[in-house]
C-alpha cells in the first residue's frame, strides 16, 4: 500500500522532470512531456521517475557509444586514406590483385584534385564530436542544437556511403577493403544516430521547420556533390579502346610486325609466333655495357643473368645515367599507372643524369606470360596493349 504522504512528492518530482522534456513512454512510446500524473495518459501504465531516468541513461548511452565507435573507425580509415592520397602512397596490403588501385585511382576518387576522403574526415569528425552533446546528461537546449548539426551530417554520411558502395559494386566493379570498411562503419554510425534522432511525433524535441530545413539542405548538398563528380571526373590513366584508325607509315608498320617470325611447320605450312625471346648468359663479362644490361633475378635462370638490349627499350631519362632502373609495367595495372608520378618526382629530386628508368612490358595476362596462371578480368587486354606499345 502506497503511503499517501509520499505520493504527492513523487508525483511532483515526476511532473517537474517531464515539464520541459520529451520522454517517450517505455510501454507505448507516447510523448510524456507535460504529464502531471504517475500514469501514462495514453496506455495508463504506471511510470516512475527512476524508471524513466534509468531507461534513458541505459538505452541512449549504449546507442550513442556504438555510433561513436563506428564513427571513430570510419574517421580513422578516412584519415589514413587521405594521408596516403597526399603522400602518393598505397594503403598497406593493397597489391596488384586487390581492388584498391581501381577504386582509389578511379575518376570517383577525387573532386577538383581533392581526395573524397578529406570531406569524409570532416563529416565523421563532426559526428564523433556531436555524440558528446546528445548524451542524457546534457540539457535539452544543448541536445536540441547538437541534433540539428548531427542529423544533416548523418544523412550526408548515409547517402555518401550508399553512393560509393554502389559505385564500387556496379560501376568500378572492384572493391577496396579500406573504402568498404569506411563506408560500412559510416552507414552503421549514421543509421544508429538517425534512428534515435528526435524526429518522430512520440519524441519530437526539434522544431519541425529547422529540422526539415537541415535535412533538405543535406540532401541538396549531397546531390550537388554527386553532380560535380559526374560533370568533373578526376583524371585517371584508364585505358580505353576505340574504333579510331590511325594511319601508319612503312617504317612503323615494319616495327609493329617485327615480332612476327615465320617458320616452316611440320606440315610444310607457314606458322607465326609473337613470343619475345629473352636472352640469358652465364657470364656477363662477355656483354657490351654500352648496349646491354644484365639482371640477376630472384626467380630467373639458374646461375645466370637476363640480358636486355637497353637501347631498344623505351626509357625515361637518358641511357647514360649513373643509375639505370628497370621498371616492369602492365598498362592495365592501376598501380603501374600510379607509378608514373613517382618517376617524375624522382627525376625532379635527383636529376636525369643520376637516374633513368628503362620501361619493360610485363603483361599480367596468361596469353603471353606463362607465369600468370589465371588472367584477371582487369588484365584481359594486357598482351595486346604491350604488343602495340
> How far apart, in whole angstroms, are the C-alpha atoms of residue 172 and residue 296?
38
- Res 319: pLDDT: 79
Work out the angle between the directed axes of helices 177-196 and 117-130 (0-180°, nearest 10): 30
Nearest to 293 by CA among 275, 277, 312: 312
Residue 149 near residue 130 (C-beta atoms within 8 A)? yes
Q: Is the pLDDT of residue 234 over 90?
A: no
- Res 113: pLDDT: 86
Q: What is the pTM of this model?
A: 0.60
Bridge partners (DSSP) listed for residue 307: 279, 294
> How far apart, in whole angstroms, are the C-alpha atoms of residue 295 and residue 358?
12
Percent of the chain with pLDDT over 70: 74
pLDDT tens digits, one per residue of 269-290: 444 444 455 677 777 777 777 7
The two counts, helices (H) then strands (E), for the chain are 10, 10
Residue 121 near residue 75 (C-beta atoms within 8 A)? yes
3-state secondary structure at position 243: coil
Q: What average pLDDT does this structure show over 256-281?
A: 50
- Res 238: pLDDT: 55
Sign of CA dihedral 360, 311, 272, 301: negative
pLDDT tens digits, one per residue of 128-159: 999 888 876 677 678 788 888 899 999 999 99
pLDDT tens digits, one per residue of 291-301: 777 777 666 66
- A 10 A CB-CB count for 181 gives 15
- Res 2: pLDDT: 40
Q: Is the pLDDT of residue 170 over 80?
A: yes
The listed range with the strongest mean pLDDT (5-19, 62-76, 324-338) is 62-76
> How far apart, in whole angstroms, are the C-alpha atoms of residue 232 and residue 116?
13
> How far apart, in whole angstroms, are the C-alpha atoms of residue 118 and residue 85?
10
- Res 3: pLDDT: 44
> How far apart, in whole angstroms, are the C-alpha atoms of residue 76 and residue 74?
5
> How far apart, in whole angstroms, are the C-alpha atoms of residue 296 and residue 281?
10
- Res 79: pLDDT: 94
Amino acid at each position: 500500500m502506497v503511503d499517501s504522504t509520499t505520493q504527492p512528492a513523487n508525483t511532483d518530482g515526476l511532473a517537474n522532470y517531464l515539464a520541459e522534456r520529451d520522454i517517450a513512454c517505455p510501454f507505448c512510446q507516447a510523448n510524456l512531456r507535460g504529464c502531471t500524473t504517475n500514469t501514462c495518459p495514453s496506455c495508463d501504465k504506471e511510470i516512475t521517475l527512476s524508471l524513466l531516468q534509468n531507461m534513458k541513461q541505459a538505452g541512449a548511452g549504449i546507442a550513442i557509444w556504438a555510433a561513436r565507435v563506428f564513427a571513430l573507425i570510419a574517421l580513422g580509415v578516412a584519415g589514413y586514406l587521405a594521408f596516403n592520397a597526399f603522400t602518393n602512397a598505397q594503403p598497406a596490403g593493397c597489391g596488384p590483385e586487390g581492388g584498391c588501385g581501381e577504386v582509389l585511382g578511379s575518376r570517383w576518387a577525387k573532386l577538383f584534385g581533392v581526395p573524397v576522403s578529406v570531406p569524409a574526415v570532416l563529416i565523421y569528425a563532426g559526428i564523433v564530436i556531436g555524440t558528446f552533446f546528445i548524451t542524457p546528461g546534457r540539457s535539452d537546449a544543448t541536445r536540441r542544437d547538437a541534433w540539428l548539426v548531427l542529423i544533416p551530417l548523418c544523412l550526408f554520411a548515409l547517402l555518401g556511403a550508399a553512393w560509393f558502395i554502389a559505385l564500387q559494386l556496379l560501376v568500378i566493379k572492384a572493391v577496396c577493403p579500406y573504402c568498404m570498411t569506411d563506408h560500412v562503419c559510416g552507414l552503421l554510425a549514421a543509421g544508429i544516430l538517425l534512428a534515435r534522432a528526435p524526429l518522430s511525433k512520440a519524441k519530437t524535441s526539434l522544431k519541425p521547420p529547422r529540422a526539415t530545413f537541415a535535412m533538405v539542405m543535406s540532401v541538396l548538398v549531397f546531390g550537388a556533390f554527386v553532380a560535380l563528380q559526374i560533370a568533373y571526373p578526376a583524371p585517371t590513366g584508364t585505358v580505353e579502346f576505340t574504333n579510331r584508325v590511325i594511319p601508319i607509315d612503312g617504317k612503323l608498320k615494319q616495327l609493329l610486325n617485327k615480332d612476327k617470325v615465320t617458320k616452316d611447320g611440320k606440315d610444310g605450312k607457314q606458322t607465326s609466333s609473337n613470343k619475345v625471346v629473352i636472352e640469358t648468359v652465364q657470364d656477363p663479362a662477355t656483354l657490351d655495357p654500352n648496349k646491354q644490361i644484365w639482371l640477376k633475378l630472384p626467380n630467373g635462370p639458374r646461375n645466370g643473368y637476363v640480358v636486355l638490349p637497353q637501347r631498344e627499350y623505351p626509357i625515361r631519362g637518358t641511357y647514360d645515367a649513373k643509375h639505370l632502373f628497370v621498371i616492369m609495367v602492365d598498362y592495365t595495372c592501376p598501380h603501374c599507372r600510379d607509378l608514373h608520378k613517382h618517376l617524375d618526382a624522382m627525376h625532379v629530386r635527383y636529376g636525369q643524369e643520376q637516374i633513368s628508368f628503362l620501361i619493360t612490358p610485363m603483361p599480367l595476362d596468361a596469353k603471353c606470360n606463362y607465369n600468370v596462371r589465371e588472367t584477371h578480368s582487369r588484365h584481359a587486354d594486357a598482351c595486346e596493349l604491350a604488343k602495340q606499345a
